Structure 1
Amino acid sequence: MATHSRPPPPRPLDLDLTIVSAKHLKNVNWQNGDLKPYAVFWVDPDRRLSTRSDDSGSTRPVWNERFTLPLVVPPHETVLTLEIFHSKPSETPKPLVATLRVELKELPDPDDGSKIRTFSLLRPSGRPQGKIRLKLGIRERPLPPPHDYHFAPPSSYYYTNAPPPPRYSAPPYVSLPPPPPPPYGTPSAPVDYSPYDQKPRGGSKIGVGTGLAVGAVAGALGGMALEEGLKYEEEKIGERVEHEVTSKERDDYGDYHRPEY
Structure 2
Amino acid sequence: MASRYEVEVTIASAKDLKNVNWRSNGKLKPYAVVWIDQNRKCSTRADEGGDGDGGVSPSWDEKLLLPFNSPIDDSTLYIDIVHSAAAADDCTKPIVGSAKLSLRDVVDDVGMGSTADRKLDLKRPSGRPQGKLVVRLSVREPRYRAPEPYYAAPYGVPPGSYAPKKKSKFGGMGAGLAVGAVAGALGGLALAEGFDAMKNKVADDVADDLGYDGDDY
**What TM-score do the two structures reach when normalised by structure 2?**
0.57
Q: Which has the larger radius of gyration?
A: 1
Which secondary structure does the structure 1 equivalent of 2:104 belong to? helix
Q: CA deviation at 1:93?
A: 3.7
Secondary structure class of the residue paired with 2:19 = coil
Gapped runs of 5+ residues in structure 2? 148-217
Identity rate of aligned residues, in percent? 40
Deviations 1:174-232 (A, max 9, x none): xxxxxxxxxxxxxxxxxxxxxxxxxxxxxxxxxxxxxxxxxxxxxxxxxxxxxxxxxxx
> Is there any run of 5+ residues in structure 1 with no aligned partner, and where?
1-10, 147-261
In structure 2, C-alpha distance between the alignment counterparts of 1:96 and 1:61, rounded to whole Å:
15
Find the counterpart in structure 2 of residue 37 from structure 1. Answer: 30
Tell me the number of residue pairs that the alignment of Structure 1 and Structure 2 aligns.
Answer: 137
Mapping 1:26-175, distance limit 5 Å: 26-32=18-24, 33-56=26-49, 57-88=54-85, 93-107=92-106, 108-111=109-112, 113-144=114-145
Ranges of 4+ aligned residues in structure 1 off by more than 6 Å: none
Q: Please tell me the residue identity of whatever aligns with 1:102.
A: L
Query: Contact conserved, 1:20 with 1:135, CA < 8 A, in 2?
Result: yes
Specify the SS of the correspondent of 1:31.
Answer: helix
**1:22 aligns to 2:14 (yes or no):** yes
**In 2, are the aligned partners of 1:14 and 1:71 still within 8 Å (CA)?**
yes
On the 8 A contact 2:85/2:92 being kept in 1, the answer is no
Note the C-alpha offset of 1:110.
4.3
> Is the Cα–Cα contact under 8 Å of residues 18 and 136 in structure 1 kept in the other structure?
yes
Write the distance in 1 (CA, Å) between the matches of 2:139 and 2:27. 36
The root-mean-square deviation of aligned C-alpha atoms, in Å, is 2.4
3-state SS of paired residue (2:23): coil
Provide, for residues 120-168 of structure 1, a one-character-per-residue CA deviation record: whole Å limited to 9, x for no partner. Answer: 110121111101011111112122576xxxxxxxxxxxxxxxxxxxxxx
Greater relative CO (CA pairs within 8 A, separation 6+): 2
